[in-house]
Copies of this chain bind each other. A is one copy, B any other.
Protein backbone atom coordinates (compact mmCIF):
# COMPACT_ATOMS: atom_id res chain seq x y z
CA UNK A 1 0.00 0.00 0.00
CA UNK A 2 1.54 3.30 -1.13
CA UNK A 3 0.17 6.84 -1.03
CA UNK A 4 1.84 9.38 -3.33
CA UNK A 5 0.71 12.90 -2.52
CA UNK A 6 -2.31 11.32 -0.88
CA UNK A 7 -3.33 9.11 -3.81
CA UNK A 8 -2.99 5.35 -3.91
CA UNK A 9 -0.29 4.70 -6.53
CA UNK A 10 2.77 2.52 -7.03
CA UNK A 11 4.79 4.60 -9.50
CA UNK A 12 6.45 7.99 -9.59
CA UNK A 13 7.57 10.10 -12.50
CA UNK A 14 11.06 9.39 -13.83
CA UNK A 15 11.68 13.15 -13.63
CA UNK A 16 11.26 13.09 -9.85
CA UNK A 17 14.42 14.50 -8.32
CA UNK A 18 14.35 11.76 -5.71
CA UNK A 19 15.32 9.34 -8.48
CA UNK A 20 17.45 11.73 -10.52
CA UNK A 21 19.70 12.92 -7.66
CA UNK A 22 18.61 11.29 -4.41
CA UNK A 23 17.19 14.75 -3.76
CA UNK A 24 15.08 14.06 -0.70
CA UNK A 25 14.69 12.50 2.74
CA UNK A 26 13.06 9.51 4.38
CA UNK A 27 11.79 8.19 7.69
CA UNK A 28 11.29 4.58 8.72
CA UNK A 29 8.68 4.22 11.44
CA UNK A 30 7.68 1.19 13.51
CA UNK A 31 3.98 0.39 13.83
CA UNK A 32 2.69 -1.42 16.92
CA UNK A 33 -0.98 -2.27 17.40
CA UNK A 34 -1.86 0.00 14.52
CA UNK A 35 0.00 2.99 15.99
CA UNK A 36 3.02 4.71 14.44
CA UNK A 37 5.70 4.88 17.12
CA UNK A 38 7.52 8.14 17.88
CA UNK A 39 5.69 9.77 14.99
CA UNK A 40 6.14 13.32 16.27
CA UNK A 41 9.88 12.79 16.57
CA UNK A 42 10.07 11.35 13.07
CA UNK A 43 8.17 14.32 11.65
CA UNK A 44 10.36 16.73 13.59
CA UNK A 45 13.50 15.16 12.10
CA UNK A 46 11.91 15.14 8.64
CA UNK A 47 11.15 18.86 8.96
CA UNK A 48 14.69 19.56 10.17
CA UNK A 49 16.01 17.63 7.17
CA UNK A 50 13.76 19.58 4.78
CA UNK A 51 15.08 22.78 6.29
CA UNK A 52 18.71 21.64 5.79
CA UNK A 53 18.03 20.65 2.17
CA UNK A 54 15.83 23.70 1.43
CA UNK A 55 12.84 21.49 0.60
CA UNK A 56 9.38 22.83 1.53
CA UNK A 57 8.28 20.57 4.37
CA UNK A 58 5.04 18.66 3.76
CA UNK A 59 1.92 19.60 5.73
CA UNK A 60 2.46 17.60 8.92
CA UNK A 61 -1.22 17.16 9.67
CA UNK A 62 -1.76 15.68 6.23
CA UNK A 63 1.26 13.44 6.62
CA UNK A 64 0.10 12.28 10.06
CA UNK A 65 -3.27 11.36 8.64
CA UNK A 66 -1.69 9.45 5.80
CA UNK A 67 0.65 7.59 8.14
CA UNK A 68 -2.28 6.79 10.45
CA UNK A 69 -4.44 5.54 7.57
CA UNK A 70 -1.74 3.00 6.65
CA UNK A 71 -0.71 2.15 10.21
CA UNK A 72 -4.32 1.48 11.22
CA UNK A 73 -4.42 -1.44 8.83
CA UNK A 74 -1.58 -3.26 10.55
CA UNK A 75 -0.81 -4.75 13.91
CA UNK A 76 2.96 -4.89 13.52
CA UNK A 77 4.47 -3.15 10.48
CA UNK A 78 6.80 -0.49 9.17
CA UNK A 79 5.69 2.77 7.59
CA UNK A 80 8.19 4.57 5.39
CA UNK A 81 7.89 8.22 4.44
CA UNK A 82 9.87 9.64 1.53
CA UNK A 83 9.80 13.35 0.76
CA UNK A 84 11.56 14.48 -2.42
CA UNK A 85 12.09 17.99 -3.74
CA UNK A 86 9.59 17.12 -6.51
CA UNK A 87 9.78 16.71 -10.26
CA UNK A 88 11.59 18.84 -12.72
CA UNK A 89 14.62 19.89 -14.61
CA UNK A 90 17.47 17.98 -16.14
CA UNK A 91 20.26 19.51 -14.16
CA UNK A 92 21.09 20.10 -10.53
CA UNK A 93 19.33 23.44 -10.47
CA UNK A 94 15.84 23.06 -9.13
CA UNK A 95 12.95 24.53 -11.12
CA UNK A 96 11.73 27.94 -9.93
CA UNK A 97 8.45 26.34 -8.94
CA UNK A 98 8.71 22.85 -7.52
CA UNK A 99 6.21 20.90 -5.44
CA UNK A 100 7.64 18.25 -3.09
CA UNK A 101 6.60 14.64 -3.61
CA UNK A 102 5.23 12.88 -0.51
CA UNK A 103 5.33 9.08 -0.48
CA UNK A 104 3.97 7.03 2.42
CA UNK A 105 4.21 3.25 2.20
CA UNK A 106 3.36 0.29 4.42
CA UNK A 107 5.72 -2.67 4.73
CA UNK A 108 5.68 -5.97 6.62
CA UNK A 109 7.55 -5.96 9.92
CA UNK A 110 10.86 -7.78 9.40
CA UNK A 111 10.76 -11.22 11.00
CA UNK A 112 13.75 -10.79 13.32
CA UNK A 113 13.97 -13.58 15.88
CA UNK A 114 13.37 -12.53 19.51
CA UNK A 115 16.86 -13.78 20.29
CA UNK A 116 18.39 -10.67 18.70
CA UNK A 117 16.80 -8.50 21.37
CA UNK A 118 17.24 -11.02 24.17
CA UNK A 119 20.58 -12.74 23.62
CA UNK A 120 22.13 -10.16 21.33
CA UNK A 121 23.64 -10.17 17.86
CA UNK A 122 26.93 -10.72 16.06
CA UNK A 123 28.38 -7.80 14.13
CA UNK A 124 31.37 -7.16 11.88
CA UNK A 125 33.43 -4.17 10.80
CA UNK A 126 32.66 -3.02 7.26
CA UNK A 127 35.39 -2.15 4.78
CA UNK A 128 33.20 0.53 3.15
CA UNK A 129 33.91 3.83 4.87
CA UNK A 130 31.58 6.75 5.50
CA UNK A 131 32.62 9.96 3.79
CA UNK A 132 32.86 13.13 5.84
CA UNK A 133 30.49 15.96 5.08
CA UNK A 134 29.01 18.26 7.73
CA UNK A 135 26.47 19.59 5.19
CA UNK A 136 24.70 16.24 5.01
CA UNK A 137 25.65 14.63 8.31
CA UNK A 138 22.91 13.78 10.79
CA UNK A 139 19.91 13.95 8.46
CA UNK A 140 18.22 10.96 6.87
CA UNK A 141 18.62 11.90 3.22
CA UNK A 142 18.26 9.66 0.19
CA UNK A 143 21.98 9.53 -0.72
CA UNK A 144 22.60 6.10 0.76
CA UNK A 145 25.12 4.38 -1.50
CA UNK A 146 27.62 4.06 1.34
CA UNK A 147 25.14 2.04 3.39
CA UNK A 148 24.10 -0.06 0.39
CA UNK A 149 27.73 -0.94 -0.37
CA UNK A 150 28.51 -1.67 3.27
CA UNK A 151 25.47 -3.95 3.58
CA UNK A 152 26.51 -5.78 0.40
CA UNK A 153 29.80 -6.81 2.02
CA UNK A 154 28.47 -9.86 3.84
CA UNK A 155 25.99 -12.65 3.23
CA UNK A 156 26.57 -14.67 6.40
CA UNK A 157 23.13 -14.88 8.06
CA UNK A 158 24.85 -15.20 11.45
CA UNK A 159 26.01 -11.58 11.17
CA UNK A 160 23.18 -9.15 11.84
CA UNK A 161 24.84 -5.77 11.45
CA UNK A 162 28.00 -4.12 10.12
CA UNK A 163 29.84 -1.32 11.89
CA UNK A 164 30.99 1.54 9.68
CA UNK A 165 34.08 3.67 10.23
CA UNK A 166 34.60 7.05 8.60
CA UNK A 167 37.44 7.71 6.18
CA UNK A 168 39.62 8.80 9.11
CA UNK A 169 39.11 5.42 10.76
CA UNK A 170 36.74 6.45 13.56
CA UNK A 171 33.65 4.39 14.34
CA UNK A 172 30.40 6.12 13.39
CA UNK A 173 27.43 3.74 13.39
CA UNK A 174 25.97 0.54 12.00
CA UNK A 175 24.74 0.29 8.42
CA UNK A 176 21.13 0.71 9.65
CA UNK A 177 21.63 1.47 13.34
CA UNK A 178 23.30 3.83 15.78
CA UNK A 179 25.84 2.35 18.11
CA UNK A 180 26.41 2.86 21.84
CA UNK A 181 28.92 1.39 24.23
CA UNK A 182 29.18 1.35 28.00
CA UNK A 183 32.48 1.65 29.83
CA UNK A 184 32.71 2.01 33.61
CA UNK A 185 28.97 2.74 33.79
CA UNK A 186 29.19 5.70 31.37
CA UNK A 187 27.55 5.73 27.93
CA UNK A 188 29.49 6.56 24.75
CA UNK A 189 28.43 7.17 21.19
CA UNK A 190 29.97 8.71 18.07
CA UNK A 191 29.44 12.37 17.34
CA UNK A 192 27.53 12.79 14.07
CA UNK A 193 28.84 16.18 13.01
CA UNK A 194 30.61 14.90 9.91
CA UNK A 195 28.92 11.57 9.12
CA UNK A 196 26.05 9.36 10.18
CA UNK A 197 22.33 9.60 10.81
CA UNK A 198 20.95 10.98 14.07
CA UNK A 199 18.47 8.18 14.81
CA UNK A 200 15.24 8.69 16.71
CA UNK A 201 16.04 5.89 19.17
CA UNK A 202 19.56 7.29 19.58
CA UNK A 203 17.90 10.50 20.76
CA UNK A 204 15.59 8.62 23.11
CA UNK A 205 18.50 6.64 24.60
CA UNK A 206 20.46 9.82 25.24
CA UNK A 207 17.45 11.51 26.85
CA UNK A 208 16.89 8.52 29.08
CA UNK A 209 20.54 8.44 30.08
CA UNK A 210 20.43 12.14 30.98
CA UNK A 211 17.17 11.66 32.88
CA UNK A 212 18.66 8.86 34.97
CA UNK A 213 21.97 10.56 35.69
CA UNK A 214 24.08 8.34 33.46
CA UNK A 215 27.13 10.13 32.08
CA UNK A 216 27.11 10.43 28.26
CA UNK A 217 30.11 11.08 26.07
CA UNK A 218 29.50 11.95 22.43
CA UNK A 219 32.74 12.17 20.47
CA UNK A 220 35.35 10.27 18.55
CA UNK A 221 35.12 6.51 18.96
CA UNK A 222 37.87 4.11 17.91
CA UNK A 223 37.76 0.41 17.12
CA UNK A 224 39.76 -0.18 20.30
CA UNK A 225 37.17 1.75 22.33
CA UNK A 226 34.53 -0.67 21.08
CA UNK A 227 36.62 -3.76 21.61
CA UNK A 228 37.41 -2.80 25.20
CA UNK A 229 33.82 -1.80 26.06
CA UNK A 230 31.89 -3.38 28.97
CA UNK A 231 28.63 -3.42 27.00
CA UNK A 232 27.64 -2.60 23.43
CA UNK A 233 24.30 -2.13 21.73
CA UNK A 234 22.82 -0.93 18.45
CA UNK A 235 19.43 0.71 17.98
CA UNK A 236 16.96 1.99 15.44
CA UNK A 237 13.25 2.66 15.15
CA UNK A 238 12.36 -0.75 13.77
CA UNK A 239 14.50 -3.02 15.95
CA UNK A 240 14.54 -1.00 19.16
CA UNK A 241 17.73 -1.99 21.00
CA UNK A 242 19.81 -5.06 20.19
CA UNK A 243 22.73 -5.96 22.47
CA UNK A 244 25.94 -6.82 20.65
CA UNK A 245 27.25 -10.23 21.77
CA UNK A 246 30.15 -10.49 19.40
CA UNK A 247 32.25 -8.23 17.13
CA UNK A 248 34.13 -10.49 14.79
CA UNK A 249 35.96 -12.78 17.29
CA UNK A 250 35.57 -10.64 20.39
CA UNK A 251 32.72 -11.60 22.73
CA UNK A 252 30.69 -9.38 25.06
CA UNK A 253 28.20 -9.98 27.84
CA UNK A 254 24.76 -8.44 27.59
CA UNK A 255 25.14 -5.98 30.44
CA UNK A 256 22.80 -4.38 32.96
CA UNK A 257 22.77 -0.92 31.38
CA UNK A 258 21.79 -2.37 28.00
CA UNK A 259 18.88 -4.16 29.71
CA UNK A 260 18.01 -0.93 31.48
CA UNK A 261 17.86 1.03 28.22
CA UNK A 262 15.73 -1.69 26.64
CA UNK A 263 13.35 -1.39 29.57
CA UNK A 264 13.26 2.41 29.40
CA UNK A 265 12.65 2.29 25.65
CA UNK A 266 9.68 -0.06 26.12
CA UNK A 267 8.28 2.27 28.75
CA UNK A 268 9.04 5.39 26.70
CA UNK A 269 7.34 4.02 23.63
CA UNK A 270 4.00 3.75 25.44
CA UNK A 271 4.29 7.35 26.59
CA UNK A 272 5.34 8.45 23.11
CA UNK A 273 2.26 6.92 21.55
CA UNK A 274 0.01 8.69 24.04
CA UNK A 275 1.68 12.02 23.33
CA UNK A 276 1.18 11.60 19.64
CA UNK A 277 -2.58 11.31 19.84
Which residues of A are in contact with B by a Cβ distance under 8 Å? 2, 4, 9-23, 26, 28, 53-54, 78, 80, 82, 84-85, 90-94, 103, 105, 107, 110, 128-136, 141-152, 167, 175-176, 194
Residues of chain B lying within 8 A (CB to CB) of residue A150 = 92
Judge whether A22 and B144 touch: CB under 8 Å.
yes
Q: A14-B10, A148-B21 are in contact. Are A133 and B129 (CB under 8 A)?
A: yes
Cross-chain pairs A/B with CB under 8 angstroms, 9 sampled: A11-B11, A53-B149, A54-B149, A85-B148, A91-B176, A131-B133, A133-B146, A133-B167, A143-B144
Q: A4-B14, A22-B145 are in contact. Are A92 and B151 (CB under 8 A)?
A: yes
Judge whether A21 and B131 touch: CB under 8 Å.
no
CA distance A127 to B10 in the complex (A): 38
Instruction: Give which listed residue, B20, B91, B130, B132, contacts A167 with CB less than 8 A.
Output: B132
Judge whether B148 and A94 touch: CB under 8 Å.
yes
Judge whether B22 and A142 touch: CB under 8 Å.
yes
Residue of B nearest to A131 (CB): B133
Judge whether A142 and B94 touch: CB under 8 Å.
no
Judge whether B21 and A19 touch: CB under 8 Å.
no
Residues of chain B lying within 8 A (CB to CB) of residue A94 = 148, 151-152
